[in-house]
Amino acid sequence: MRSAAARPAEATANRIDDVFARLRGRDEKALIPYVMAGDPDVATTEEWLLAAASAGADLLEIGVPFSDPLADGPVLQRAAERALAQHVTLGDVLGLARRVRAKTPIPLILMTYYNLIFQYGDERLARDAAAAGVDGLIVPDLPPEEADTLAGATRAAGVHLIFLVAPTTPPARIAAIAARASGFLYYVSLTGITGSKLPPLEEIEQRVRAIKRTTRLPVAVGFGVSTPDEAARIARVADGVIVASALIKRLQEEPDPSRRSSVLTAYVASLKQALIPR
């Protein structure tokens, strides 16, 4: 059973809370790059995650490959397909997180779909994720109204369950989602899939300001962000910026696999510099 009586999520301090609090004290915004686990293989993913951390990433989002990723655009879909061709499982991703955790204190967030969690088991996943050093879960296809079982399990394990809001989400529903969320709210900047063109920045600023009037949670913006200038503009109102498709695309466009870590490092560093106040 996926749902139960609705109740607000309880705040549980973890690395995500600590990072946003530290950055807020410096008037600095969080950079959250995304890497698909297992693309092109798990060992390379580990190398890239650690490279992103060393280049200035504040949190890391790790994609769990899934065959029907409804929120992902073509770039991330192809990344998932390449990972699935390597037979990468949710268990493999938890093992990856455990190894990365042993080498860096940076917060780790898994982005996955509920079918994988349902098969694995809500309580088992929450427990194993916490043991692996995972700090948060993003589950795009799990509505808050159906998330109480997973929310209870993650809350007990000290793992944040991070919900998404969209440009079409009405204010009353934003407030309801925020009451159930923990860690931060993920604002999807466009009504589409990852990698689509970013909407006018004025529109994003307006909507983020409206969201922040309903919650004290940090708000991070994702979908469509690709340049340092865009990141800097969004960071004027948001608490964090998530970059996924643009990063994966840059890695795949580099023909020399031996240079991809340096491409990632340079790109992440340029984005992070845009989020540091001058």
72 is catalytic: yes
Which residue matches tokens 């795009």?
140
Q: How long, in residues, is the chain?
A: 278
203 is catalytic: no
- In the set 72, 92, 148, 230, the catalytic residue is 72
The Cα 162–Cα 170 span in angstroms is 18
Residue with tokens 């609705």: 6
Considering the candidates 17, 61, 122, 239, report the single residue annotated as catalytic.
Answer: 61
Catalytic residues: 61, 72
